[in-house]
């Protein structure tokens, strides 16, 4: 029958359609469409959802505003324990769902009562679900061994408090750039896959 | 055209500059003002209000820790000073921050007398700043009520 004789061709065609659909889905994601625009807070939509952790109420208010002005969606918590609860890493599995959560960056104070920012960093890097999320440590103290320890544990960056607008902009730009590079790699890979299937179809004389 | 507004704006500008010149405020206060806009006209006032509440609370608890000479919890005092230094630094409260630096030194060597002096000084400084900023915010309010815009002030 037509179907059994051309099973190979049909499987190739469906792969091609599948890949094209994935391509389209990738391209049409809102955040990807704006990737090439400048990153000023005027034009771009909210691209980053930041989880900020600080035990100081003054600093929480400050960092929240700083991030909002920088076009970020912000969730602020007052302790590392609450941060873990929010992420669902405290063993209680109380979080809403990974897609809704979608944290792109965690910014945490270093010195906090109970669990420190450093301990929070370790817990996040130990988690298979969240280890890819960049974690930035903030501290009022410029202590080199502390900075080294954090960077060794996988911190994305170490910011000296008080944090400036320029710090957040720099952070945001470098994260978006990394994202853009990853996106381009995915698209290139899909292009190669599509080309490969196209060549196979040509050889099969479709 | 509106000279009332212009006069108030001038007053505001001069007053703000003087606060920097007299060392009450530093560059971080400028950073705070940058984060305020027409959509969030009370942002700076809200942050400093939280700061002053924090000061009051921390000073009270440190005072209790320092109360009895034979039983001072320097660890608690040190923690309080650290928090105070952090928040004063975040809002640009320069004099308060500087007292905290001396305060920490007294704490490190467990000097109760020194700590008590610093505590008194920090209490004085935060209350002084609170009064100054209240005057500044009042000027701001007068400008807005007179239909004017809050001037961008460049400090250098």
- Would you list the DSSP string of B80-135? HHHHHHHHHHHHTBHHHHHHHHHHHHHHHTT-HHHHHHHHHHHHHHHHHHHHHHHH
- Chain B closest-CA separation from residue A78 CA (Å): 14
| Stated pTM of the model | 0.80
pLDDT at A29 over 70: no
Which residues in chain A are closer than 8 Å to B85, comparing Cβ atoms? 140
- Chain B closest-CA separation from residue A42 CA (Å): 13
The half-sphere exposure of A52 on its side-chain side, counting CA atoms within 13 A, is: 24
If you search the block for the tokens 């820790």, which residue do you land on? B65
Q: Where are the alpha helices (DSSP H) in A127-164?
A: 144-152
pLDDT at residue B24, as a whole number: 98
pLDDT at A42 over 50: no
Find the Cα–Cα–Cα–Cα dihedral A98, A99, A104, A108, rounded to 10°.
-40
pLDDT band at B32 (very low <50, low <70, confident <90, very high): very high
User: Angle at Cα B29 formed by Cα B27 and Cα B35, nearest 5°?
Assistant: 115
pLDDT at residue A41, as a whole number: 36
pLDDT at B14 over 50: yes
| Residue in B with minimal Cα distance to A69 | B35
Q: Are A164 and A136 in contact (CB under 8 A)?
A: no
Cα–Cα distance between A135 and A158 in angstroms, integer? 9
How many residues can be counted in chain A?
206
**What value does the mean pLDDT take over residues A191-198?**
85
Which residues in chain B are closer than 8 Å to A161, comparing Cβ atoms? 86, 89-90
Question: Could A58 and B28 be called an inter-chain contact, meaning their C-beta atoms sit closer than 8 Å?
Answer: no
Q: Are A128 and A85 in contact (CB under 8 A)?
A: no
pLDDT at residue B1, as a whole number: 54
Question: Could A165 and B34 be called an inter-chain contact, meaning their C-beta atoms sit closer than 8 Å?
Answer: yes
**Between A11 and A146, whose confidence is greater?**
A146
Q: What is the pLDDT of residues A131-156, one digit of tens each?
A: 999 999 999 999 999 999 999 999 99
pLDDT at residue A16, as a whole number: 76
Scan residues 136-155 of B and list those with Cβ closer than 8 Å to A.
none
| Residue in A with minimal Cα distance to B84 | A56
pLDDT at A12 over 90: no
Contact of B7 with chain A, judged by CB distance below 8 Å, is answered with no
pLDDT at residue B156, as a whole number: 66
**Between B156 and A189, whose confidence is greater?**
A189
pLDDT at B53 over 80: yes
Least confident of A10-24, A60-74, A135-149, A172-186: A10-24
Question: Could A61 and B47 be called an inter-chain contact, meaning their C-beta atoms sit closer than 8 Å?
Answer: yes
Q: Are B151 and B5 in contact (CB under 8 A)?
A: no
Least confident of A77-91, A104-118, A146-160: A77-91
Question: Could A161 and B31 be called an inter-chain contact, meaning their C-beta atoms sit closer than 8 Å?
Answer: no
| ipTM of model | 0.92
**Between A60 and A18, whose confidence is greater?**
A60
pLDDT at residue A99, as a whole number: 52
Contact of A106 with chain B, judged by CB distance below 8 Å, is answered with no
Contact of A37 with chain B, judged by CB distance below 8 Å, is answered with no
Contact of B28 with chain A, judged by CB distance below 8 Å, is answered with yes
pLDDT at A32 over 70: no
**What value does the mean pLDDT take over residues A94-113?**
78
Q: Does residue A202 have a cis peptide bond before it, meaning omega lies within 30 degrees of 0?
A: no
DSSP letters, A67-82, are: HHHTTEEEEEESSHHH
| Residue in A with minimal Cα distance to B30 | A164
Mean pLDDT, rounded, of chain A:
83
pLDDT at A193 over 90: no
**Between B152 and A3, whose confidence is greater?**
B152
Q: Which of A66, A140, A164 has the CB atom closest to B85's CB atom?
A: A140
């Amino acid at each position: 029958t037509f179907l059994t004789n051309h099973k190979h061709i049909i499987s190739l065609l469906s792969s091609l359609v599948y890949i094209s659909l994935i391509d389209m889905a990738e391209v049409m994601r809102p955040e990807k469409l704006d990737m090439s625009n400048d990153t000023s807070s005027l034009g771009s939509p909210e691209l980053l959802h930041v989880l900020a952790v600080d035990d100081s109420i003054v600093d929480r208010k400050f960092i929240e505003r700083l991030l909002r002005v920088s076009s970020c969606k912000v969730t602020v918590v007052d302790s590392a324990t609450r941060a873990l609860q929010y992420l669902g890493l405290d063993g209680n599995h109380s979080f809403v769902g990974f897609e809704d959560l979608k944290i792109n960056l965690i910014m945490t104070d270093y010195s906090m009562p109970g669990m420190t920012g450093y301990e929070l960093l370790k817990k996040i890097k130990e988690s298979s679900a969240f280890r890819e999320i960049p974690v930035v440590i903030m501290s009022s103290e410029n202590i080199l061994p502390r900075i080294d320890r954090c960077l060794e544990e996988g911190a994305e960056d170490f910011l000296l408090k008080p944090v400036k607008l320029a710090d957040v902009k720099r952070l945001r730009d470098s994260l978006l750039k990394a994202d853009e590079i990853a996106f381009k790699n995915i698209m290139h890979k899909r292009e190669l896959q599509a080309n490969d299937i196209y060549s196979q179809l040509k050889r099969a004389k479709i | 055209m509106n000279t009332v507004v212009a006069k108030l704006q001038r007053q505001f500008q001069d007053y703000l500059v003087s606060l920097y010149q007299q060392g009450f405020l530093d560059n971080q206060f400028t950073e705070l003002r940058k984060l305020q806009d027409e959509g969030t006209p009370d942002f700076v006032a809200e942050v400093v209000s939280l700061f002053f509440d924090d000061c009051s609370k921390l000073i009270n608890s440190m005072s209790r820790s320092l109360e009895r000479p034979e039983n001072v919890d320097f660890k608690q005092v040190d923690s309080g000073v650290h928090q105070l230094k952090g928040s004063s630094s975040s809002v640009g409260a320069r004099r308060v921050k500087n007292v905290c630096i001396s305060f920490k030194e007294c704490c490190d060597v467990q000097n109760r007398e020194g700590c008590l002096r610093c505590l008194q000084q920090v209490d004085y400084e935060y209350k002084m700043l609170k009064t100054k900023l209240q005057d500044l915010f009042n000027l701001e309010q007068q400008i807005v009520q007179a239909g004017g815009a809050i001037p961008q002030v460049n400090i250098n």
